[in-house]
Structure 1
Amino acid sequence: MAQFGFENDIHSILKLDMPITNAPMARWQRKASSSNTSAVNGLSPGKTANVSLSSSKTPSKTPGKTKKPSPSKMGGDRFIPVRNSKQMDVASFLITKENDNMDTSNTASDRAASETQKAWAMSINGYNIEDAKILHLGGKPLNAPEGYQNNLKVLYSQGSTPASHKKTTRYINSNPSRILDAPELRNDFYLNLLDWSSQNFLAVALHGCVYLWDATQGDINLLLHLENPEDYICSLSWTKEGHYLAVGTSDCKVQLWDVEHKKCLRTMTGHTARVSSLSWNDHVLSSGSRSGNIHHHDVRVAEHLICTLAGHSQEVCGLHWSPDGRYLASGGNDNLVYVWPPPGGARNKSVHCWSEHQGAVKALAWCPWQPNILASGGGTSDRHIRIWNVNSGSCMSSVDTESQISSLVFAPNYKELVSGHGYAHNSVAIWKYPSLSKVAELHGHEERVLSMVLSPDCSTIATVAGDETIRMWNSFEVDPVKKKAKERLALQASSAIHQSIR
């Protein structure tokens, strides 16, 4: 019986039939009290009603204003507990501690997820996304991972400018460094009236005379003067050593002159028309004529004519041996370019014959650092520079210069190609090889450029034009540091040769 009485007491306590003394006021009680207060204030405006509210009521946020009652929800009044400042601090502490425990418990799983995300990023993008920061505060810029390629240009970077972004282009003076007068110069596109020797002597033909300009001392001397006033000089060519000069004349002759003693060593005949082009290959002198024939002369023997090449149908105005002596290139007024083997036996047939040019081909140049590369330029009807590979026989590239091309020269100091032009620009153009992008254009001649040659140190080009002037363009000056290193290597090579001879 006692057990049933104890259970009944517990059930009666749990039913909460009796009011809770410490509980907050019910919502209906608060409404009634607020309505009584408003009624008292309305009846007695000058008096203040002393309405005692429970200490648990929360004061209104804006005193003096009546808060609009919110609509009641289904299910009755909600329970709003009363919390003082101490309880709030305790609750905040418990929540923080609970979150810390959750972070500690989830550290391993988060770490595994982070590793998985990093692995996916590495496999898809090639780099970790967390490491690819757009902005970086302080320190040096982050280096890209190995194998990562960024096609965007860097606009701003911290620190000094990288070596790859430094300006490497040189200054090219557009004005000539020296101008020489060339009176009575024959204004003929097909003639070759200028050549520069390895001894630094510049030879120029002025009608029937040949003058030598000493580029070291600045002296000018007369080498020869043709006796017949109707005859004129058509072509000039120095030997490799620079001691002898070959001269082609309008009376179908080829003369060989000793420059030091100013003496004509011999006169070679055989052509039936003027000799407008000359080129040396060791002891063999090749001469091109207006008849279209090319003669090979062995200057060591009395019977100098050793071979005749008959390929061109019109005047041979361009003639050049390759630096290694393996090929002879010839260009003619028939718009053809021939490549010939060295003389000997029955080897008088051409290796190549190119007919792509649409104008006379006078401008020919062999590449010094690639002996199998030949550059050719066409006349007024063509105006194109073409680069040929002699080994394959194909045209590697071409560019339209929009002007007559009279001469071509390779500048080895900067691996560039220089072209002299006649109608209509009358200028000198510098092209980057092998892209054939124009580097600079030099203006100064008032009429068409007829011939162009390179100085022995490959730093200056000399041009002669129909305006009867010779202009020096110092456009390929070598860096002093590189020049000293090159001279040092040459000195070491010469000393090694002397030691081997001993």
Structure 2
Amino acid sequence: MRDLFRNHVGTRGRGLFQGLTDAPQTSYKRFRRRLVCRERSSSNPPAVSTPLTTGWRCGSGFELDTVRQRLQLDSPPSFKDRGSAEQRDLQEFLTEASKERNGMKTPTVMPEEIPHDVIISCPSDKNVTQQGWIWRAAAQEDDDEQRTGREQKGFKQRKSDLLPFTVLNQTSVKRLAAPSLRNDFYTDVLDCSCNGMVALALGSTVHLWNSETQVGMGNLGPSPQSVPRHQQSVSCLRWSRDGRTLCIGIKSGEIVLWDVERRQKTRHVSSHSSEVGAVSWKQQLLSSASVLGWIHHFDPRAPGPLIGAALQTERVCSLQWSPAEDQLASGSTGGLLHIWDDDISGEASSKKPVLTMKQPTAVKAMAWCPWRGNTIATGGGWKDGKLRIWDTNAGTCVTAVTTDSQICSLQWAEQKRHVVTGHGLPHHQVTCWTWESDSLRSVQQFKGHSRRVLHLAMNPDHSQIFSAGADNVFHIWDIECL
């Protein structure tokens, strides 16, 4: 810039700087300001003799060009670009993975050869060591005397300083702290195992809490030596059906499998190149979905875990296997509810949903009915607000009821034969519904959240509802009286 200024002063406004008649008296700051203004306001390209490129854009040899190319790779591709070439690459990759599982030698697959959104890493990879997760025991709580002493001195703990599952009150409706809970409609970070162990993800850390003893067991999360914690933020989690393994989906596209009894990581799979939107178990097999529409099926016990894939045309925001494990439901942001069969092996091009149903808003809140096969419930967003019951055999909506509220989460209470919904505006309540004679009727509402109820879970005997809201509060609701 200063060289251009000296050139401009010496030539008295020739070439690019014609019109600046006071060139000999122009200061450097004034010269720079006029140059910028002139370049922004003029549509003419710079003179050929100048080193500046048109519109201030860098040429292909610019040193940050690789960053620009990486950004294009990481951006969601248009679905027109997901043609036969990518499907052929995926088929070849699945073939190689199948050979590896059968003990056959296969050539080394380089990262650039792996199709977009299909990147598998085994536990022995260096990448796993750099992004390792560790177990931390529960912090020791202050005893009652210390807590009472602080209260007598007028000590008030800030909300941001509260530990997860800290008791906020001792009334009939129990309120616990859930600090740093992501206010994200498309996350699914609360689940309760068949053993009564509650897993709640707060940022990049998953906290475990025993619902029977109501004691925090500890937490697990990235080690201090791993990549920045904001890249390890948990987007979804799900317990295996036997309650032994916790599957954790991460915003960066990775999946962590954790053996809670042994307190150690059993698998670290870098599968998706985008955020993991939902996960679901089929016995020992695992299905995961990304925001780019990919659905991957894994066998965590195999050296090459990927065994199949499918692709839908919109972001997957919910994913769940039916109780009989013969149907897989996936919900999209465009309001499509896809039903897939149980044949999960093979490439994406050969996989098509056997049934597709549509509602006006995203299918985020979704759950299969435990006692009635081929029946699934979905909740509508704030522009819809309807609770629907679908028959997946006929592909029709059996019944629907207007809730006049956004439905953020949904669960079935099998023992009570209820549908439980968590709502956003305007009341932020938890509602229990009975379903009799193909009609839905509200039987009770639980109010206490000040912001939308993002997540719901049930204890093993379905006598309690656990809810986590955007107000950073975890509620325990007792439904034994219903």
For 1:175-254, list aligned pairs within 5 A: 177-226=173-222, 227=226, 228-231=228-231, 232-254=233-255
Partner of 2:351: 348
In 2, the alpha carbon distance for the partners of 1:308 and 1:424 equals 39
Kindly indicate whether the alpha-carbon contact (under 8 Å) linking 1:332 and 1:362 is maintained by their aligned counterparts in 2: yes
Contact 1:460 1:477 in 2 (8 A): no
Q: Using a 3 Å threshold, how does the CA distance of structure 1 residues 309 and 431 change in structure 2: closer, same or farther?
A: same
What are the residue-to-residue correspondences of 1:281-296 with 2, within 5 Å? 281-296=282-297
- Cα deviation digits, residues 103-122 of structure 1 (max 9, x gap): xxxxxxxxxxxxxxxxxxxx
Does the CA contact (< 8 Å) of 2:278 and 2:319 recur in 1? yes
Give the total of aligned pairs. 302
TM-score (norm 2): 0.61
Change (3 A) 1:383 1:258: same
Give distance in 1, aligned partners of 2:449 and 2:181. Answer: 14
Matched, 1:464 2:468: yes
Counterpart position of 2:384:
382
Q: Distance in 2 between matches of 1:363 and 1:305?
A: 27
Map of 2:93 onto structure 1: none
Alignment match, 2:43: none
Find the residue that maps to 1:338 and give its secondary structure: strand
Amino acid aligned to 1:410: W
Q: Which amino acid aligns with 1:458?
A: H
Say if 1:344 and 1:360 are closer, same or farther in 2 by CA, change over 3 A.
Answer: closer
- Normalised TM-score (structure 1): 0.58
Q: Does the 8 Å CA contact 2:308/2:345 hold for their aligned counterparts?
A: no
Shift in CA distance, 218/288, structure 1 to aligned 2, threshold 3 Å: same
Q: CA RMSD in A?
A: 1.6
What is the 5 A alignment of 1:45-444? 177-226=173-222, 227=226, 228-231=228-231, 232-314=233-315, 316-345=316-345, 348-355=351-358, 357-434=359-436, 435-444=439-448
Deviations 1:311-360 (A, max 9, x none): 1412x1211111110111111212111111113456722121112x1111
Three-state SS of the structure 2 residue aligned to 1:361 is: coil
Q: For residue 176 of structure 1, report the CA deviation from its aligned partner.
A: 5.9
1:190–1:276 Cα contact (<8 Å) kept? yes
CA contact (8 A) 1:333 1:360 kept: yes
Q: State the alpha-carbon separation in 1 of the partners of residues 243 and 267 from structure 2.
A: 17
Q: Is the 8 A contact 1:341 1:348 kept in 2?
A: no
Q: Percent identity?
A: 36
Q: Take 1:286 and 1:476, find their aligned partners in 2: how far apart are those partners?
A: 34
Q: State the AA in 1 paired with 2:450.
A: E
Q: CA deviation at 1:387?
A: 0.8
Q: Counterpart of 1:205 in structure 2: which amino acid?
A: A
What amino acid sits opposite 1:263 in the alignment? Q
Partners of 2:300 and 2:440 in 1: CA distance: 39
What do residues 199-248 of structure 1 show as CA deviations (whole Å, max 9, x unaligned)?
11000000010000011222213331224221211111001110110000
Distance verdict in 2 for CA 1:383–1:312, change over 3 Å: farther
1:101 alignment partner in structure 2: none
Code of the residue aligned with 1:247 in structure 2: it is: I
- What amino acid is aligned across from residue 196 of structure 2 in structure 1? N
Unpaired runs of 5+ residues, structure 1, are 1-174, 479-502
Deviation string, structure 1 residues 264-289 (Cα, Å, up to 9, x no partner): 11111221211121111101111111
Distance 1:330 1:417 in 2: 19
Output the amino acid matched with 1:221. Answer: M
Q: Tell me the CA shift for residue 455 of structure 1.
A: 0.8
Q: Find the partner of 1:447 among 437, 442, 451.
A: 451
8 Å contact from structure 2 (residues 297, 344) kept in 1: no
